[in-house]
Structure 1
């Protein structure tokens, strides 16, 4: 029979790591008990495992306080339901971390994104333009109330429309670009750039060509942070989009730190 809810005799401790492992090994058992009270016989039938497997799994979950007796059977406690949700959330975050390896491998060692960035994140690699779930790449600036970005040249792909929307935001928009990107922009779209800056948008440049960018977009009810890395041609190669508040705060801090050391753009200088 399968051992996914714990066939082996173990001397598991009561610390968080052991509890996390216990939930993982007995996940389907705990999930079955999260919605209703079931007897051990019910569990054997529902999960197609042996009675001894159910006995050991239930005993371990009761020991941890994640399952309790109820109406002649067993049911997950509030702690059990939260533990199951927390376990599944951690697995999703870990999956996002693994998917985001192309992003993480390209970041400088000084850039340490918080774990919360990967909680319920959208991770996109490969042909980003062909992926509908990567729509955050095409920022809908029409719905934004503010934007702050560091090294976000992927905005150039929508520049003819974006510069007017950025101008609408005025001093609620901050763009920190690489010096090379700003030079390109000032040569390609000088009038649009000047009009945008005249409207109050803060534009500045940093030396070098950082291989990554961070963009924070505020909307009436949400805020998001995008961490993006670029290929050797300067095009977006992979990105992570998160709506987690702690991750968004990290993004704001990252952009602000780069803005402090950046050279402001002055149209007439």
Structure 2
């Protein structure tokens, strides 16, 4: 029996792509066989498809090692169940990528988000107040233990309580803003900004003015990264939130790289 994982030769990519396509085309059959064995006749009745469709589908899945004979019928193998889950995860990630086109189109070419950013992510576009009603956006930082962000002034304008919570974090919070964003904040929220810095929040600025921001939040049991792009007025236009560890690590590196060239908000202190 040939392995659906391939044998490590140059055709592995094509083999994997072919297997992925097969799982997609035969998903109903593989799903039906993921719990209990079924005969081909039972598959025909369960799925309301022709016998020839079942014959071709089962034969192909057996050749790939995703289905095997069992108790007079057929059942998904462990590889088959994992392949089905992997296929569905990939489709969800692709849907998130398509939803995130307004974000990706606005990011500089030098910024390359990892694919993991879109795995089980929350992607929102439009007015953020409307976004909150359509997706579980978690910007309540009352349980956040540390926060590091680049160019994220939306925290101040959209969630006023975030200013108090940032002050609570003290030196566990780092904000690297663009010079223009910091100038705006210092004029719009001068008392809040000074109060935060007095508690130890590290605030600094870089000269360039990118149209995007990155915020990483740590909580007792989870960590998240938010990538946001801004409209021409500086308001948040679209964002993606991910809890994938590799995506969070990418966000940390991006913010840290910005921080290396930033100047402190109050350099005289």
Per the alignment, residue 170 of structure 1 pairs with: 170
CA RMSD, aligned part only?
1.7
1:174-232 CA deviation, whole Å, 9 max, x = no partner? 00111111112222322322221121111001113210000001111111100000000
Per the alignment, residue 258 of structure 1 pairs with: 258
1:47-70 CA deviation, whole Å, 9 max, x = no partner? 111111111110110011100011
Per the alignment, residue 123 of structure 1 pairs with: 123
Q: 1:210 aligned to 2:210?
A: yes
TM-score for the superposition, normalised by structure 2 = 0.91
Alignment of 1:70-81 (within 5 A): 70-81=70-81
1:211-254 CA deviation, whole Å, 9 max, x = no partner? 00000011111111000000000011110000111100000111
Per the alignment, residue 198 of structure 1 pairs with: 198
Distance (whole Å) between structure 2 residues aligned to residue 30 and residue 74 of structure 1: 10
Per the alignment, residue 249 of structure 1 pairs with: 249
Is residue 174–residue 202 contact of structure 1 (8 Å, CA) maintained in 2? yes
Per the alignment, residue 65 of structure 2 pairs with: 65
Is residue 225–residue 242 contact of structure 1 (8 Å, CA) maintained in 2? yes
- The alpha carbon displacement at 1:90 in A equals 0.3
> Residues 135 and 73 from structure 1, CA distance in 2 versus in 1: closer, same or farther, beyond 3 angstroms?
closer
> Residues 187 and 128 from structure 1, CA distance in 2 versus in 1: closer, same or farther, beyond 3 angstroms?
closer
**SS class of match (2:200):** coil
Q: 1:107 aligned to 2:102?
A: no
Distance (whole Å) between structure 1 residues aligned to residue 267 and residue 187 of structure 2: 11
TM-score for the superposition, normalised by structure 1 = 0.91
Is residue 122–residue 133 contact of structure 1 (8 Å, CA) maintained in 2? no
Query: Which residues of structure 1 form unaligned runs of 5+?
Result: 1-12
Is residue 117–residue 247 contact of structure 1 (8 Å, CA) maintained in 2? yes
> Residues 50 and 208 from structure 1, CA distance in 2 versus in 1: closer, same or farther, beyond 3 angstroms?
same
- The alpha carbon displacement at 1:150 in A equals 0.3
Is residue 228–residue 237 contact of structure 1 (8 Å, CA) maintained in 2? yes
- The alpha carbon displacement at 1:159 in A equals 6.4
- The alpha carbon displacement at 1:135 in A equals 5.0
Q: Aligned residue pairs: how many?
A: 256
Per the alignment, residue 25 of structure 2 pairs with: 25
**SS class of match (2:38):** coil
Is residue 150–residue 215 contact of structure 1 (8 Å, CA) maintained in 2? yes
Per the alignment, residue 149 of structure 2 pairs with: 149
Query: Which residues of structure 2 form unaligned runs of 5+?
Result: 1-12
Distance (whole Å) between structure 1 residues aligned to residue 153 and residue 74 of structure 2: 57
Is residue 171–residue 201 contact of structure 2 (8 Å, CA) maintained in 1? yes
